[in-house]
Amino acid sequence: MWSISFLLSAFVASCSLCSVYGLFTFSNYYHDHMVLQKSSTGTTVWGHSSKVGDVVHIKMNNSEVFQAVVKSNQIWEAKLTSPSDHGPYIISAVSSLGTIQISDVLFGDVWICSGQSNMEFTTNKLLNSSEEYSDSTSYQSIRFIHIHKQFSATPFTDIDSINSGWNTPNQRSLQTFSAVCWLYGKFLSQHFNYPIGLVETNWGGTRIEAWSSPDALKRCAGFSGRKRNQYYESHLYNAMINPLLRNTIKGAIWYQGESNAAHAYKYTCQFQEMIFDWRTKFSTASLGTTSSSFPFGFVQLAPWREGESNLGFPQVRWAQTSNVGYVPNSLLPHVFMAVAMDLPDFHSPYGSIHPRYKHEVAYRLYLGALAVAYHVEGINFEGPFPTSATIDNTHRHLTIEYDRGLHPIEVRSNQGFEVCCVNHTTNVCNAFDNHWVNVTMESHDFASVTLDVSTCSHGNHVAQVRYAWRESPCPFHQCAVYGKITNLPGPPFTFYVH
Ligand SMILES: *[C@@H]1O[C@H](CO)[C@@H](O)[C@H](O)[C@H]1NC(C)=O
Ligand SMILES: *[C@@H]1O[C@H](CO)[C@@H](O)[C@H](O)[C@H]1NC(C)=O
Ligand SMILES: *[C@@H]1O[C@H](CO)[C@@H](O)[C@H](O)[C@H]1NC(C)=O
Ligand SMILES: *[C@@H]1O[C@H](CO)[C@@H](O)[C@H](O)[C@H]1NC(C)=O
């Protein structure tokens, strides 16, 4: 009995209707228990058929809602109007080759979770994983799919049939699922109380080049085409992103950049172009049902090694904001971030590059999503960020003003600031030169901090100031500047002082 039902389900999963007459299936993304994007622009359902020109009738709970025609590429694609409720629905597709169906289909928000090992970091590595498993019984309308790891030199049309389909949350399904992705979905589910679909597509140790299409890569000057990565340029894009493009999504979250720290100067362009390219391609391939400016959230790199002076991580953190320091900004519209530099875990059993504090990371992402993706009013989702840096006329005090005083700051340390101290022949410093000196905060009020820069006198002057410009800038929760109300750390910055 076991072997018969096993064979039957394997057959159904890989080929719902393969017969002498031809092949008729849903895409391998579409399975029982899935979440479809609820959207005023519609949601796509698609699949394969060997019979070009055949008509495919799409039904929701037996009412026909769409007719699709099998195109010359043997794909049929339907654009469904979202129902007014969240389901469940049975969705069936009927063609001259037969009938296929998926059941327990919910309507809600679908988020892609991508990146490298910190996104891949599984729920069973959380400090309280067993509590998370038992708590998951309350979140049965969060559903998730884990895209099988594959790479390819050419774009895949569909994900592999080896993909196990959509899961409901329980200990077995959750333990190998992304912790950040799950927790992010859980926070969204708590707030909105409707179904959330999570699509994990990530791979530890990978560089952004692998997740970028050739179109995105070629827009960055200096793109060499050299294949440094073990996973070549676009190879993960081809196998793990391209086959998802036809599906309607709400947005994406991203935790990646550690593997690009050695070439951080390239990341500004690469990141910006990848986001724009994903947005364009998802929107086009999904018949316009995914927004061409869909919200994109990322985790700004967390700390790694204690006391390390390598500047790759601070450079990537800055590049992740398009060298602005905060998001969204005009270069990165509809982008939000979770600052994570104050969450070191130097004794993580998974290596200090994998801090276990994923609840806070996911919560900070969720705050950004509420404000940027969902336009919820009154959400404070950003830590304090400077609006100006001014030297007084004694040249001994540098005052940094935060947020125009709109939100009070909380100071937890007087460390973490540096100034670039140069003589009258220049005003220019780069991140690596040796003119940077530590300075301490001598005072602060609710909206500004004042640094003692008297070490930079005697014919020298302060050309630049930077903050938290370290791989691991502070002990846990003890960076210098936080929002008093938000409890969020001010992000790192580097500025010229005029
Ligand atoms: C659709 O069918 C499912 C499964 O039978 C059922 O639970 C659900 O209530 C139906 N929804 C509507 C709107 O009829
Ligand atoms: C797990 O621990 C985090 C703090 O690290 C806490 O916020 C969260 O509520 C805990 N989860 C459960 C299900 O107890
Ligand atoms: C400067 O401050 C950082 C901490 O922000 C510390 O790690 C470093 O050792 C200090 N450098 C010097 C030269 O004191
Ligand atoms: C000013 O600084 C530059 C760069 O460090 C150095 O080469 C030059 O000798 C300095 N000039 C004086 C007058 O100290």
Query: Beta strand pairing status for 448-452 and 98-115?
Result: unpaired
pLDDT at 3: 35
pLDDT tens-digit series, residues 473-489:
999 999 999 999 999 99
Is residue 131 lining ligand 2, measured as CB closer than 6 Å?
yes
Look at residue 225 in the predicted model and tell me its pLDDT: 66
Q: Which of 413, 420, 438, 440 to mutate to test the pocket of ligand 3 (most atoms within 8 A of CB)?
A: 438
Closest ligand 1 atom, CA of 60?
A: 1
Q: Is 359 in the pocket of ligand 2 (CB under 6 A)?
A: yes
Degrees to nearest 5, angle at CA 466 with 464 and 470 = 140
Ligand 4 centroid from CA 455, angstroms: 17
The pLDDT of residue 395 is 84
Q: How confident is the model at residue 277 (pLDDT cuts 50, 70, 90)?
A: very high
Backbone angles phi, psi at 451, to 5 degrees: -100, 145
pLDDT for residue 322 is more than 70:
yes
Q: Is the pLDDT of residue 108 over 60?
A: yes
Q: How far is CA 263 from the centre of its chain?
A: 20
Cβ–ligand 1 distance for 90 under 6 Å, the answer yes
Nearest-atom number in ligand 2 for the CA of 132 is: 13
Mean pLDDT of the chain: 92
Question: Is the CB of residue 175 less than 8 Å from the CB of residue 223?
Answer: no
Are residues 113 and 253 in contact, defined by beta-carbon separation less than 8 angstroms? yes
Report the CATH architecture of 107-373: 3-Layer(aba) Sandwich (3.40)
The residue whose CA has the least distance to atom 5 of ligand 4 is 422
The pLDDT score that the predictor gives to residue 394 is 85
At 431 the pLDDT is 78
Q: How sure is the predictor about 14, in pLDDT bands with cuts at 50, 70 and 90?
A: very low
Q: Does domain 4-105 have CATH number 1.10.3470?
A: no
Atom number of ligand 4 nearest to Cα 424: 1
| pLDDT at 405 (0 to 100) | 56
Mutate-to-test residue for ligand 4 from 425, 426, 433, highest number of ligand atoms within 8 A of CB: 425
pLDDT of residue 423: 87
Check pocket membership of 128 for ligand 2, CB cut-off 6 A.
yes
- The token pair at 485 is 């109300």
Where is average pLDDT lowest: 84-88, 224-228, 280-284, 345-349?
224-228
The conformation of residue 491, written as its DSSP 8-state character, comes to P
Considering every ligand atom shown, identify the ligand nearest to the alpha carbon of residue 105 and give its number. Answer: 1
Check if the beta carbon of residue 496 is closer than 8 Å to that of residue 330. Answer: no
Contact 492, 317 (CB under 8 A): yes
Residue 435 CA, closest ligand 4 atom number: 5
- Give me ligand 2 centre to Cα 126, in Å: 9
Q: Is the CB of 61 under 6 A from ligand 1?
A: yes
Query: Counting ligands in written order, which one lies closest to the CA of residue 89?
Result: 1
With a cut of 60, say whether residue 10 has pLDDT above it. Answer: no
> Is the Cα torsion angle 346, 348, 353, 356 positive or negative in sign?
negative
Residue 242, C-beta contacts closer than 8 angstroms, at least 6 positions apart = 155, 156, 157, 213, 281
The sheet that has 22-26: what strands, in order across it? 18-19, 22-26, 43-49, 75-80
Model pLDDT, residue 443:
97
Q: Which ligand is nearest to the CA of 460?
A: 4
**How far, CA to CA in Å, does 456 sit from each of 374, 379, 438, 459?**
46, 40, 10, 8
Alpha helices in 159-266 (DSSP H): 171-174, 179-192, 214-218, 235-236
Instruction: Give the model's confidence band at 393: pLDDT under 50 very low, under 70 low, under 90 confident, else very high.
Output: confident
**Which stretch of 72-86, 213-227, 357-371 has the lowest confidence by average pLDDT?**
213-227
Q: Is the preceding omega at residue 473 within 30 degrees of 0, hence cis? A: no
Q: Residue 5 above 50 pLDDT?
A: no
Residue 90 has pLDDT above 80, yes or no: yes
d(CA 291, CA 283): 6
The binding-site residues of ligand 4, defined as CB within 6 angstroms of any ligand atom, are 423, 425
Assign 497 a pLDDT band (cuts: 50, 70, 90): confident
% of the chain surpassing 70 pLDDT? 93
In this structure, the residue with its CA closest to atom 1 of ligand 4 is: 423
Over residues 378-385, mean pLDDT: 94
User: How far does the centroid of ligand 1 lie from the alpha carbon of residue 373, in Å?
Assistant: 30
Three-state secondary structure call for residue 262: helix
**Residue 374 backbone dihedrals phi, psi, to 5 degrees:** -110, -5
438 CB near ligand 3 (under 6 Å): yes
**Atom 1 (ligand 1) nearest CA:** 89
What pLDDT was estimated at residue 17? 52
Q: Is the model's pLDDT at 244 over the cut of 60?
A: yes
Q: Is 89 in the pocket of ligand 1 (CB under 6 A)?
A: yes
Question: Per-residue pLDDT averaged across 53-72, rounded?
Answer: 98
pLDDT at 48 over 70: yes
> Residue 68 Cα, ligand 1 centroid: separation in angstroms?
23
Q: Over 70: is that where the pLDDT of 290 sits?
A: yes
SS3 per-residue string spanning 295-346: CEEEECCCCCCCCCCCCHHHHHHHHCCCCCCCCCECCECCEEEECCCCCCCC
Q: What is the pLDDT of residue 146?
A: 96
- pLDDT, residue 1, reads 30
Q: How far is ligand 2, taken at its centre, from the CA of residue 131, in Å? A: 7
User: Do 93 and 101 meet the contact criterion of CB atoms below 8 Å apart?
Assistant: yes
Contact partners, residue 243, CB within 8 Å, separation at least 6 = 27, 29, 155, 156, 157, 158, 159
pLDDT score of 427 more than 90: no
CA separation for the pair 427, 299 (Å, rounded): 33
Model confidence over 436-459: pLDDT tens digits?
A: 999 999 999 999 999 999 999 778
Residue 183 Cα to ligand 2 midpoint, Å, equals 10
pLDDT band at 434 (very low <50, low <70, confident <90, very high): confident
Look at ligand 4, atom 7, and give the residue with the nearest C-alpha: 425
More confident residue, 228 or 363: 363
Show the tokens assigned to 21. 């007459």
Radius of gyration of the chain (CA): 25
Helix (H) / strand (E) element for 77: namely strand 75-80
Full-model pTM = 0.94
pLDDT at 80 over 90: yes
Q: Which ligand is nearest to the CA of 126?
A: 2
Domain range annotation of the chain: 4-105, 107-373, 386-496
Which ligand 4 atom is at minimum distance from the Cα of 433? Answer: 5
Dig out the tokens for 312 from the structure: 């790759």
- Any idea which residue has 């600031």 for tokens? 417
Report whether pLDDT(92) > 90: yes
